[in-house]
Structure 1
Amino acid sequence: MPNPPLTERQQRTLTFLRDYLQAQGLPPTLREIADALGFPSHSSAQACVESLVRKGMLERSPQHRGLRLSGDHGRVTRAAALAALPLIGRVAAGSPILAEENIEAQLEVEPALFHPRADYLLRVVGLSMRDAGILDGDLLAVHRTHTATDGQIVVARLDDEVTVKRLKHERDRLLLLPENPDFDPIEVDPRRHEFAIEGRYVGIIRRA
């Protein structure tokens, strides 16, 4: 009997659950699902999980965080589980970077080609990172993390803008450095700016 069709949101949730189970050995909480996939609320994550249970992709179990992959869905092939990454275009002000409204497409790219593995692709706009080989229109492979070390290229949120820059700590201040002399460094002042690291650059895809 063929598998019931999944919506894009359900497929992303199933893939996240599978990857989380493989990495952690237990299912994620609804909060972790909502945060990772940009759902607007826990109830949205709950509704998506319930849909996957009804479609037979997930099963309830009596254990803590009682979810598990059902039957053959827990043994899907590597290609089915790992062969797509969400492509993020323009990020809406104030929205989580992986919110559905920011996702342009799901591209057939193997996340494990990158180290650490990529969680999403970000479309590059502009030439501020030109001298690092990152050009306008490139697809930046990003490992989702909220921490980075000095000198790494990061995807950073500064107030309502998302930017790609090199991170630099300098005494008592934090700088976001371009790789193009035509652009000025950005100094992050925590008294005036809301700042967060959204991910770390792990590779690039350039379409012909």
Structure 2
Amino acid sequence: MKSLTDKQQQLWEYLLNYLEDYNQFPSYADMQEKFDYSSTNSIYQHLSSLKRKNYLIKQGRGNYDVHPTKRSQLKGFYPGIPVKGRIAAGAMHEAISENLGHLPVEIHPSKSDHYFALIVDGESMIDADIRDGEYIIIDPRPPQDGEIGAIDYHGETTLKTIQRKSDGIILYPENPAYDPITITPEKWEKITVFGTYVGKAWKKDGDWGLIFRSS
């Protein structure tokens, strides 16, 4: 059985080509003119069918986007920022290592396509405007003094501000309700650094965006 009818397939191919050429969806008037329909009702019915069959997703009133499972059909497809797991912002806990999909956002310049995202668990970094359940963006480079690092220590993860001292490293929370963690030099080899916090992703009115931490 065909997934799409002939007319739905024609509209789908037109939408993909229009997106690739103009980086936006055509208007109802554009689609009506292209397919010579007497009204926009037929266009609405076909778009609804494409949504029902998971080719499109609704983005607000009258607006659509390509369903994530079909975005690979676009030329020059960029899947987004990979979400590689969760990280504790509170008491340290065991890392959750899994593929949690992609955030539908792109980082420019292209040299930054090695960034990845983690989901925050906990409230120890709220004074740094990092809250439970948020998606944070990680650059896989070691954090400098005073930067926020994603750390694995003894097989457990944490997100903390890094302060280097003569007698070790202190992992500072950004919430007075939590205590800092001191790591002495003899324990340094037990540290794995995932990278440095550089920003976070947010979603508003169905659209995703990025906020980068000012240096």
Provide TM-score, normalisation by structure 2.
0.51
CA offsets 1:137-183 (integer angstroms, 9 cap, x no match): 010011112x2210001111111111111010112210111000000
Which residue of structure 1 aligns with residue 149 of structure 2?
154
Q: CA RMSD in A?
A: 2.8
Work out whether residues 81 and 106 of structure 2, in 8 Å CA contact, stay in contact via their aligned partners in 1: yes
Matched residue SS, 2:100:
strand
Work out whether residues 150 and 195 of structure 2, in 8 Å CA contact, stay in contact via their aligned partners in 1: yes
CA distance in 1, matches of 2:109, 2:199: 9
Query: Which structure would you say has the larger Rg?
Result: 2
Work out whether residues 114 and 203 of structure 1, in 8 Å CA contact, stay in contact via their aligned partners in 2: no
Which residue of structure 2 aligns with residue 143 of structure 1?
139
Cα shift at 1:113:
7.3
With over 3 angstroms needed to count, the CA separation of the structure-2 counterparts of 1:119 and 1:183, relative to structure 1, is same
Structure that is richer in strand per residue = 2
Which residue of structure 2 aligns with residue 177 of structure 1?
172
Provide TM-score, normalisation by structure 1.
0.52
CA distance in 2, matches of 1:107, 1:131: 24
CA distance in 2, matches of 1:183, 1:176: 11
Cα shift at 1:116:
5.5
Work out whether residues 168 and 185 of structure 2, in 8 Å CA contact, stay in contact via their aligned partners in 1: no
With over 3 angstroms needed to count, the CA separation of the structure-2 counterparts of 1:127 and 1:118, relative to structure 1, is farther
Matched residue SS, 1:166:
strand
With over 3 angstroms needed to count, the CA separation of the structure-2 counterparts of 1:113 and 1:135, relative to structure 1, is farther
Cα shift at 1:202:
0.9
Q: Which runs of 5+ in 1 are unaligned?
A: 1-75
Which residue of structure 1 aligns with residue 161 of structure 2?
166
Residues 52-71 of structure 1 mapped to structure 2, 5 A cutoff? none
Matched residue SS, 1:112:
coil
Which residue of structure 1 aligns with residue 39 of structure 2?
none
Which residue of structure 1 aligns with residue 102 of structure 2?
106
- 1:120 has 2:123 as partner: no
With over 3 angstroms needed to count, the CA separation of the structure-2 counterparts of 1:85 and 1:156, relative to structure 1, is same
Q: Which runs of 5+ in 2 are unaligned?
A: 1-74, 88-92, 205-215
Structure 1 runs of 4+ aligned residues shifted over 6 Å read: none
Work out whether residues 125 and 173 of structure 2, in 8 Å CA contact, stay in contact via their aligned partners in 1: yes
CA distance in 2, matches of 1:117, 1:202: 13
Residues 1-208 of structure 1 mapped to structure 2, 5 A cutoff? 77=76, 80=77, 82-90=78-86, 101-112=97-108, 119-145=115-141, 147-192=142-187, 194-207=190-203
